[in-house]
């Protein structure tokens, strides 16, 4: 966890940046709108572009890089496994899946895990398992299993998942959509209770809505939701893909209210920033509804993924990263709050994860991110004038101060121009 400072941006090499951007824009579909920077290497909380300019990474791969770029312990474990065995498919056993599954089950306090690859696959898996549990265990009528979701959610990009999104950009021209979902206001347990009927099998939610701008539910919501789901015999399914694995200052965001869901949905940081690794974790009464041939994945649970995921779990066992996220998050929150009234109109922080709302008449979120990039900081906007920050947990205190200073400079420049 070394301290770093940004280097001066070089004037040469711009042609390399232009070349790579042109190449990508020509041959890769335009489903993203990246900032005009071409990254070539990374270490810890810092990345370097093709021109040799260094940037503080304050997105961390949407929390996939909780442990930073190229963490030595994860690289060593991945390198070791790369030389041994990378893929077998689940048609055979391998010597890495069992230890990984045991470690992850123990970390979550659950009895079983079902490994997949991407976060969206894990969410789809949770949906399928919830429905099958509803038919085989709860006994809902054939073809009626319903799942309650929350307004402002982001769970992935598959057709089924965007079926319960209220983001017009995510849903436009992708219908018809999958039925069976009812969406209610986020953080409103009374609305959840009103939506539950005899066919409801699960409530799928994010303990913190990351894509929404690090939106934290009202205090007590998670506990009330847990009580409601238990009372009504409905699975509580927590999507901790972004919020879990130390990002929020606890192992899981549900831990902030000492709540244990029926199903954990995990991903992103579980792959250590090296490869996609995801899973759901639940007790046997839920996961044993899955039988051979009813669900699967060619790469899910492969030896390389399992080895990396296992190492991630081992790293989390000490509590070092959870504690570090809390301490750095307190420093970040203190710095951001000094900017309220000076360009910021809202600040939300949980662990080392922050969402800030910029005065809409002053700057868009995209403009803020462009200004931050010019000052050696990379971040990502979300809806309107909201920007979220999620530096790798290996960042230093000086790195956090740099983030706040850079944001302050962007806001002061915009305020000066508006006068």
Q: Distance between CA 358 and CA 366 in Å, rounded?
A: 11
Q: Does 132 qualify as catalytic in the annotation? A: no
From start to end of 242-399, where are the E strands?
Answer: 263-266, 278-282, 344-349, 354-358, 377-378, 380-381, 386-389
Q: Distance between CA 62 and CA 140 in Å, rounded?
A: 37
What number of helices (H) and strands (E) belong to the chain?
14, 15
Q: Looking at 55, 67, 154, 164, which residue is catalytic?
A: 154
Please, is 43 exposed, middle or buried when counting C-beta atoms within 10 Å of its C-beta (0-12, 13-18, 19+)? middle
Residues 6+ apart with CB under 8 A from 30: none
Backbone angles phi, psi at 54, to 5 degrees: -105, 145
Q: Does 154 qualify as catalytic in the annotation? A: yes
Please, is 50 exposed, middle or buried when counting C-beta atoms within 10 Å of its C-beta (0-12, 13-18, 19+)? middle
The number of beta carbons lying within 10 Å of the beta carbon of residue 218 is 11
How far is CA 196 from its chain centroid?
A: 27
Q: Distance between CA 298 and CA 305 in Å, rounded?
A: 12
Q: Distance between CA 356 and CA 295 in Å, rounded?
A: 40
**Contact 192/215 with Cβ under 8 angstroms?**
no
Q: Does 268 qualify as catalytic in the annotation? A: yes
Backbone angles phi, psi at 184, to 5 degrees: -130, 165
Q: Looking at 268, 357, 389, 399, which residue is catalytic?
A: 268
Q: Which residues pair with 115 in a beta bridge?
A: 279
Q: Looking at 49, 57, 239, 381, which residue is catalytic?
A: 239
The angle at the Cα of 151, spanning 147 to 152, to the nearest 5 degrees, equals: 125
Q: Distance between CA 308 and CA 15 in Å, rounded?
A: 37
Task: Tell me the catalytic residues.
Answer: 154, 239, 268
């Amino acid at each position: 966890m070394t301290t770093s400072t940004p280097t001066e941006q070089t004037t040469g090499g711009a042609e390399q940046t232009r070349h790579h951007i042109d190449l990508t824009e020509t041959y890769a579909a335009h489903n993203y709108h990246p900032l005009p920077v071409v990254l070539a290497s990374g270490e810890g909380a810092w990345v370097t572009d093709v021109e040799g300019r260094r940037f503080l990474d304050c997105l961390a791969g949407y929390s996939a890089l909780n442990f930073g770029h190229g963490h030595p312990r994860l690289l060593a474990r991945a390198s070791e496994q790369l030389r041994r065995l990378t893929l077998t498919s689940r048609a055979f056993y391998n010597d890495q899946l069992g230890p990984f599954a045991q470690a992850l089950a123990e970390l979550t306090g659950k009895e079983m895990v079902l490994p997949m690859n991407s976060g969206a696959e894990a969410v789809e898996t949770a949906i399928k398992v919830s429905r099958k549990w509803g038919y085989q265990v709860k006994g809902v009528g054939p073809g009626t299993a319903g799942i309650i979701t929350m307004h402002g959610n982001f769970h992935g990009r598959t057709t089924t998942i965007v079926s319960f999104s209220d983001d017009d950009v995510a849903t436009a021209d992708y219908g018809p959509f999958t039925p069976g979902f009812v969406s209610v206001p986020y953080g409103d347990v009374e609305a959840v209770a009103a939506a539950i009927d005899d066919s409801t099998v699960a409530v799928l939610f994010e303990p913190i809505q990351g894509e929404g701008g690090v939106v934290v539910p009202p205090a007590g919501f998670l506990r009330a939701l847990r009580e409601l789901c238990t009372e009504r015999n409905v699975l509580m399914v927590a999507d901790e893909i972004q919020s879990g694995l130390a990002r929020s200052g606890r192992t899981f965001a549900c831990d902030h209210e000492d709540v244990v869901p029926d199903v954990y949905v995990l991903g992103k940081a579980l792959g250590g920033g090296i490869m996609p690794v995801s899973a759901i974790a639940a007790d046997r009464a839920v996961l044993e509804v899955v039988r051979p041939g009813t669900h699967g994945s060619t790469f899910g649970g492969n030896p390389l993924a399992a080895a990396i995921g296992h190492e991630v779990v081992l790293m989390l066992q000490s509590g070092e990263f959870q504690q570090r996220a809390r301490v750095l998050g307190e420093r970040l929150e203190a710095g951001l709050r000094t900017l309220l009234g000076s360009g910021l109109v809202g600040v939300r922080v949980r662990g080392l994860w922050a969402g800030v709302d910029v005065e809409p008449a002053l700057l868009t979120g995209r403009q803020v991110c462009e200004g931050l990039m010019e000052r050696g900081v990379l971040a990502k906007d979300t809806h309107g004038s909201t920007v979220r920050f999620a530096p790798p947990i290996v960042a230093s205190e000086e790195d956090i101060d740099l983030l706040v200073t850079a944001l302050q400079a962007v806001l002061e420049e915009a305020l000066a121009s508006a006068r």
